[in-house]
Structure 1
Amino acid sequence: MHNNLKSIIHVLCSGTALGIAESATAALVEDSKASLDMRNFYMNRDFRQSGAVQNKAEEWAQGFILRFESGYTEGPLGMGVDAIGQLGIKLDSSPDRTGTGLLKSGSEASANAKDEYSESGLTAKLRASKSTIKIGTLQPVLPPLMRNDGRLLPQTFRGTWVNSNEIDSLSLDLGRIDRVNQRNSSNNEALTVFNGGMRNIVLSNAKKSSEFLFGGGRYQWNSALATSYYYGGLDSIYKQHLVNMVYQFPLGKGQSLKSDLRLAHSSDDGGSNVDNDAVGALFTYKLGSHNVSAGYQHLSGNTGFASVNGADNVLINLVQINDFGNENEHSWQIRYDYDFSALGVPGLNLMTRYLSGDNVDRGPGLSEGRTWERNTDLSYVIQSGPLKDFGFKFRNASTRSNFLNDIDESRLILTYSLALW
């Protein structure tokens, strides 16, 4: 079957209107790869506070993600194409339990989730030397813009992205995004800024934007030290400068100390009141299969942290439910990770952490906002046999706050990736 699929791709590529010679398409096809990712996802979110409009959100769904990445045609300017197709299928839901983010909801608040939803995307790509340009569907994981992959199907963006690695150890990025397809949507939409919790971001005329610009680079000084600077700007809403330094200091056999320092300065771009400085630091001590981490995050300014709605961000304390990015919030975390391979069970991992935030500006006359969150992840990936690479993950979280919803949440995720060729 794999050979038949490759033959079909070869016919499609050699017969395109681009008029590329058949000999030039050989590398494009031979260097291609395709995979099918399958994700079975159950999620239960229990709203603990009294008087909640909805007692809980609970859904179960199956996702399929088909990915194709071609090689490049031969010559100084190589051409290729990538494609992604995604399908989400409802296994269980009801109108009073929607809202997990796993499934596409109906147009009315009381409507049931759709039985299925799908999306597809194409990306044209060009390569010259060690530089590439991609146009179409994109999934960046960069400091100013990180696609979210925390539910059934990943979030995607539409735009242009240039990446250059011409200088050893230096990676440069430049791009423009004009649309987003959220993780439980089939439609490309204009971009907006996340404004939940006590972000306190006030928008004037522009509520949406059709342009997000980003640029910057990362330099790997040596095996222990890496630094980066990036700019990101959502037109007419905010602009942002982000600096990061990661240093891993070896302490002896099986031991190391890793420091991750992050700075972000956000300001308005003519259509908002965005004004925020975020400083974060996370230190991790590794001893064999044990990892112990401690982190602190400090926000200041007239608003909370600004980021593209639906996407992940660079905040140190971005975790399962919260990111502790509210106006003037100060937060800390402690975390423990253990790799059970030391006990003869490779593929089994445990993570648990606790975070606490305070000093949130809730407005005149109100006491400071406070939040805490507790997370536990237990994951296992089969290492050999017919089910090799089949993954299991259980995620549990609880959060309590005097200005946000009180939530208890559990997720059960089964994953398997099948390489088609």
Structure 2
Amino acid sequence: MPTAQKLTLAVLINAALISSVYASEQSEAKGFLEDASGSVLLRTGFIDRDKKNGVEDTRSTAQSAIFKLESGYTQGIVGFGVGAVGDGSFKIGKNNHAGNQMIPLHNDGAKDANGHVDAYDHWTRGGASVKARISNTEVRYGTQVLDLPVLASNTGRMVPEYFEGVLATSREIKGLELTAGKFTKNQMSDQINTDSDVNGNGLDSAIVWGAKYKFDDQFNASYYGLDSKNALERHYVNANYKYPLANKSSFTVDFSGYHTEWDKQALTYSSPLGDKDVDGRSNNIWALSGTYNQDAHTVMLAYQQNTGNTGYDYGQNADGFQSIYLPNSYLSDFIGNHEKSVQVQYNLDLGSYGVPGLNWTTAYVYGWDIKVANNPEEGKEREFFNQVKYTVQSGFAKDASLRLRNSIYRANNAYDGAYIGDTNEWRIFLDIPVKLF
């Protein structure tokens, strides 16, 4: 992180610590055991990618139990505690076509009679953390699930992605949250060993920092930065304004974007998403959306655009490919070099029609003007997305949910082999949360 950014962040944190304007969370601590909590999420998951144009399909089915255990904080000016996250899983069926970052594959090179790499029958992962809190500022060290726009854990597969490092979060000023941290290990969703040479994605160390501020009930904004050693530096901004209208309706405007510059020490770039071996690689990707809500109905229109000399290329960020907090993101993230894309999305909450907990989302995204390496033809892609989700509202199965998701993705000849490729995808997830204590 540049010296100026370190100094700015230090000044903000110190200002927050001496300018507290609301109650201290630590002063309300009940105790190490008294505030402890534990839960397990039982997840049954299935992802099927029906590939076109002669590409082999991938299909995975598994069962997982995802644990989260948290102690409370000890009482006193400084409180201390511990936490743990982990998961245990087993495959359902042979899973000869396993993939999609769902199930770990054996890395010894062994294959079955049909040439498929064997999937693990069962596996476990996880880790622990220690934490300390003073006033409204918490510091945590150890294994964590992250939700930062520049370094996010992939939670869209069977089990979450884990990072290992330290993260400080401060909420001393009402409406303002400051974040700073450093992470040195990563474990993707289908990875058994933390940052292993074979299955790992090369995280050396990543420094993160940021702030988000809620100005009032209508307007909030945020900024986050990341410096991933020998890889890239990335910055994210977001502003969201919700304007209330008559008859309990509203209109929300949202702007978000990333600026990325790759380090000279980064691996030679040869992705078809950008210009090959270009010197001084950089990318800007931003999106503007407008969302109208009226009772059970929500309609969103979004425009997203890439500029620079390469695509967004989140894979070189050494994470699980979820660090892209932009609207045009489903099976494809519409991140090609120079790409422009538009989306129309419709969401229906059927609770207003007598079926509480049932929700349907449909969307269509079209991308064009993609520069593909070594191909003069303009790349184009499109995706038709549908998702139905039902969440139990009461009774012994309260909060259990069933989610069915389908994407129909197509690209033109210039882009078909450069990114995902023509695919029909199904995802089915059954989640049953259980509170242990």
TM range (shorter): 0.7 to 0.9
Matches of 1:129 and 1:44, distance apart in 2? 47
Instruction: Compare 130-139 and 399-408 and name the one that shifted more.
Output: 399-408
Question: Of 170, 190, 196, which residue of structure 2 is paired with 1:184?
Answer: 190
Matches of 2:369 and 2:425, distance apart in 1? 25
Residues 64-213 of structure 1: pairs in structure 2 closer than 5 A: 64-95=65-96, 97-107=97-107, 108=109, 110-189=116-195, 208-213=202-207
Residues 241-390 of structure 1: pairs in structure 2 closer than 5 A: 241-272=235-266, 273-307=280-314, 308=317, 309-390=319-400
1:98 Cα deviation after fit = 1.6
Contact 2:161 2:188 in 1 (8 A): yes
Does structure 1 residue 38 correspond to structure 2 residue 42? yes
1:145 Cα deviation after fit = 1.1
Query: Residue type of the partner of 1:182?
Result: M
1:378 Cα deviation after fit = 0.4
Per-residue displacement from partner, 1:133-186 (whole Å, max 9, x unpaired)? 010011111121111100110111011100001111100000111111001112
Contact 1:238 1:306 in 2 (8 A): no
Per-residue displacement from partner, 1:13-36 (whole Å, max 9, x unpaired)? xxxxxxxxxxxx971111010001
C-alpha change, 1:246 and 1:191, in structure 2 (3 Å) is farther
Contact 1:28 1:72 in 2 (8 A): yes
Contact 1:245 1:261 in 2 (8 A): yes
Per-residue displacement from partner, 1:42-75 (whole Å, max 9, x unpaired)? 22110022x32x1x11221101011101110111
Q: Give secondary structure in 2 for the equivalent of 1:342.
A: helix
Matches of 1:187 and 1:364, distance apart in 2? 37
Matches of 1:216 and 1:124, distance apart in 2? 22
Matches of 1:235 and 1:249, distance apart in 2? 41
1:190 Cα deviation after fit = 6.9
Does structure 1 residue 412 correspond to structure 2 residue 428? yes
Matches of 1:67 and 1:362, distance apart in 2? 43
Structure 1 residue ranges, 4+ long, deviating more than 4 angstroms after superposition? none
Query: Residue type of the partner of 2:66?
Result: I
1:314 Cα deviation after fit = 3.1
Matches of 1:262 and 1:114, distance apart in 2? 39
- The equivalent residue for 2:16 is none
Aligned-pair identity (%): 28
Contact 2:68 2:85 in 1 (8 A): yes
**What is the RMSD computed on CA atoms of the aligned residues?**
1.9
* Superposition TM-score, scaled by structure 2 size: 0.83
C-alpha change, 1:208 and 1:36, in structure 2 (3 Å) is closer
Contact 1:59 1:93 in 2 (8 A): no
C-alpha change, 1:191 and 1:159, in structure 2 (3 Å) is farther
Per-residue displacement from partner, 1:67-112 (whole Å, max 9, x unpaired)? 10111011111100010120111012333x1213221111236222
Contact 1:209 1:236 in 2 (8 A): no
Query: Residue type of the partner of 2:157?
Result: R
Instruction: Compare 180-189 and 126-135 and name the one that shifted more.
Output: 180-189
Query: Residue type of the partner of 2:288?
Result: A
Where structure 2 has 5 or more consecutive residues not aligned to the other structure, the ranges are 1-28, 267-279
Contact 2:368 2:379 in 1 (8 A): yes
Where structure 1 has 5 or more consecutive residues not aligned to the other structure, the ranges are 1-24, 195-206
Query: Residue type of the partner of 1:355?
Result: V
Matches of 1:124 and 1:190, distance apart in 2? 24
Matches of 1:365 and 1:57, distance apart in 2? 28
C-alpha change, 1:232 and 1:179, in structure 2 (3 Å) is same
Contact 1:39 1:413 in 2 (8 A): yes
Q: Give secondary structure in 2 for the equivalent of 1:189.
A: coil
Matches of 2:125 and 2:296, distance apart in 1? 40
How many residue pairs align between the two structures? 380
Q: Give secondary structure in 1 for the equivalent of 2:304.
A: strand
Matches of 2:228 and 2:255, distance apart in 1? 24
Q: Give secondary structure in 2 for the equivalent of 1:341.
A: helix
Contact 2:303 2:341 in 1 (8 A): yes
Contact 2:204 2:230 in 1 (8 A): no
